[in-house]
Amino acid sequence: MKTTVIILSMIVAITAENLPNGFKVCKLSDPDIEKCISEAFKIALNVLANGDSALKILPIDPLAIDYMRINSSGPVSVTQEYRNMKIYGMTKNMQVFIKSFDVNTFAINIVAVFPQLNVTSDYEMNGRILLLPIQGKGKCRATYYNMTVTFDVEYDKYERDGETYLKIKKFIFHINDINDLKGYFENLFGKDYSLGEEMNRLLNENSKMIFNEIKPALEEVFKQVITGIGVKIYSNVPLKKIYPPE
């Protein structure tokens, strides 16, 4: 399967040297630092819901995706194109669990649960699902329930102008599972309303299989967003302001 994802520009010139207002800072000396980071992560997402002008971070709730193309094979052999996609709910009631954090290397493993993500988009698709032909062009919407994700991040440290900064060395992101997925595609099969409704029913009955086909594209979306935000913060805010020793 091939996936193409385009998100509005993530990297531009920045001069900010401080974390955005409202961010929670966790001291390395805190004996409960993993709990602190968990709270800080949730707060950071809420602060960044509308973006940050100083760090040139775009809004993440809703998160805007210009274009996403998915070419899949197997039971779901469909070319899907999505434009003007918006993802709502990334900052709403998210649960965060810090599985590990190294105070020396800053390597971190995080598990997060998004209770509900609502997606709207323009779409165009053509192909076969379970050997049945499918084609359409129009508006679509989907809701993901209890999406669980895991990501591992490793860093390098480097010096610049007398300050120590972090740089992302390795980033692994996985969508582990969802409880359910419900969606609706308008204008499937053009004016054949009854056939379109039947196909929407079939898609929802096989939502887990459909999800497994689009999961790599969603993982790429989240990976680009998180690394884009990370690059802007870590390359401009000194380490001592992110994780002060005391």
Mean pLDDT, residues 15-44 = 91
CATH number of the domain enclosing 42: 3.15.10.30
Residue 25: inside a domain: no
C-alpha 231/C-alpha 16 separation (Å) is: 13
At residue 246, the pLDDT reads 84
C-alpha 246/C-alpha 240 separation (Å) is: 10
Burial 223-243 (b: 16+ CB within 10 A, else e): bbbbbbbbebbbbbbbbeebb
C-alpha 229/C-alpha 11 separation (Å) is: 9
Residue 20: inside a domain: no
Confidence band (pLDDT; 50, 70, 90) for 3? low
Residue 12: inside a domain: no
Residue 5: inside a domain: no
pLDDT tens readout for residues 80-138: 999 999 999 999 999 999 999 999 999 999 999 999 999 999 999 999 988 889 999 99
In the chain, how many domains are there? 1
Q: Where is 71: in which H helix or E strand? A: strand 63-71
pLDDT tens readout for residues 184-243: 999 999 878 999 999 999 999 999 988 988 899 899 988 998 999 999 999 999 999 999
Confidence band (pLDDT; 50, 70, 90) for 8? very low
Asked if the model's pLDDT at residue 37 lies above 70, the reply is yes
Residue 108: inside a domain: yes
Q: What's the domain range around 225?
A: 32-242
